[in-house]
Amino acid sequence: MKKAWNKVPAAGAFCILAGFVLVSFDTVFAQNQATPPCCVDRWDPEWTERSMWAPGAMGPGQLQRMARHWTFIHGGLPFEYRGLWSTLEQTPDVVKAGARLYQQQCSECHGTQGMGDGDAARALTPSPALLAYLIQMPMSVDEYLMWSIAEGGEELKTDMPAFKDKLSREDIWKIIAFMRAGFPEMAAE
Ligand code: HEC
């Protein structure tokens, strides 16, 4: 009888240990069951998720291009460009003046029709933007275009020159009016 009493602490310890093992096993098991089959989205499983900015997802030039759009969409415009609107009406005279400026300052890279195919374009990475398409995108609001043209690509390390010291704001609005008019050829002379 004395011997049996001696075994009580050992049996107690065993029970506690066994209980602990069971509880932890259950926890692990429960975790594995955390997503019941009912809730798996079979059309969008986890393995299709891919970070847009992950290495290899975009070429280096494309990354820089996206960085410009990303900056704007996430409210990264410098204060002085926020909320800017053109001060000019899109009259034929304004468009014509814009055409002249565009052909002088922009077409060697962006091409006469804004198709990114100017003579200097091929040597550049990233290549000059296809402004004819850009101008149709909802993102092409006045403040975005003014910022891109005035500040250029220095911060993004692209070859887009900054025009803020070269052209007046009014001249830049003229160029924007020309682009909004659809790069009309008649105005180019
Ligand atoms: C030396 C070549 C060069 C000249 C000249 C140039 N650009 Fe660019 N431009 C680029 C390149 C390269 C990019 C693409 C990289 C970037 O967005 O910075 C670009 C990008 C842009 C963008 C942003 C496009 C986007 O995807 O949002 C605008 C707007 C633009 N240029 C307008 C102009 C205008 C207007 C002129 C003339 C006043 C001009 N550029 C002159 C090379 C040039």
Per-residue pLDDT of 39-71, as tens digits, reads 677 777 777 777 877 877 888 788 888 889 999
Ligand 1 centroid – CA 57 distance (Å): 23
Closest ligand 1 atom to residue 124 Cα is 12
Whether 38 has a pLDDT exceeding 70, the answer reads no
Q: What is the mean pLDDT of residues 116-133?
A: 94
Look at residue 64 in the predicted model and tell me its pLDDT.
86
pLDDT in tens, 129-153: 999 999 999 999 999 999 999 999 9
pLDDT at 188 over 60: no
pLDDT at 187: 45
Q: How far is the CA of 93 from the centre of ligand 1 (A)?
A: 24
Query: pTM of the full predicted structure?
Result: 0.77
Residue spans of the domains in the chain: they are 2-48, 60-188
**Architecture label for domain 60-188:** Orthogonal Bundle (1.10)
Tell me, in angstroms, the distance from the centre of ligand 1 to residue 166's CA. Answer: 14
CA distance 148 to 142: 10
Which among 155, 158, 162, 139 is positioned nearest to 61, based on CA atoms? 158
Ligand 1 pocket test, candidate residues 110, 117, 135, 145, most atoms within 8 A of CB: 110
* Cα–Cα distance list, 128 to 90, 115, 172 (Å): 25, 9, 18
Q: Which residue type, as a one-letter code, is found at position 54?
A: A
